[in-house]
Amino acid sequence: MRQVVAESVPASTRTIEYARWRTGRILTAEHGEDVVEMPSRATFYRLFAKLSGGVSVTGSARTRQSLANQPEGPFRYEQVAAPGELMPARPAPARPPL
């Protein structure tokens, strides 16, 4: 399914049913006929939503392609579990007392 999402970035807009069909073809080519069972339609839609998060696979091709061509931003998201867990490498100097 990740391969289908990656293939969709430069391509024209496809439907989720196309992604389901293409995933089935990839599984058949890699593992053989009826070796790997495809998930149900509802399960496939849930998995597709999770794996295609942030990529407008079924949306506008122009939006998808422009998002793919953007440079990475200077900041990144870090998940922190406790206060003070993430500290800067070089903390700012302490201000002198008044």
Question: Which residue type sits at 32?
Answer: G
What was the pLDDT predicted at 40? 92
Burial of 64 (0-12, 13-18, 19+ CB in 10 A): buried
- Those residues with Cβ within 8 angstroms of residue 24's Cβ, 6 or more apart along the chain or in another chain: 38
Which helix H or strand E contains 38, and what residues bound it? none
**Assessment of whether the complete model's pTM goes beyond 0.85:** no
- pLDDT, tens digit, for every residue of 25-82? 998 998 888 888 888 999 988 888 887 776 667 777 777 677 777 777 776 667 777 7
Amino acid letter, residue 3: Q
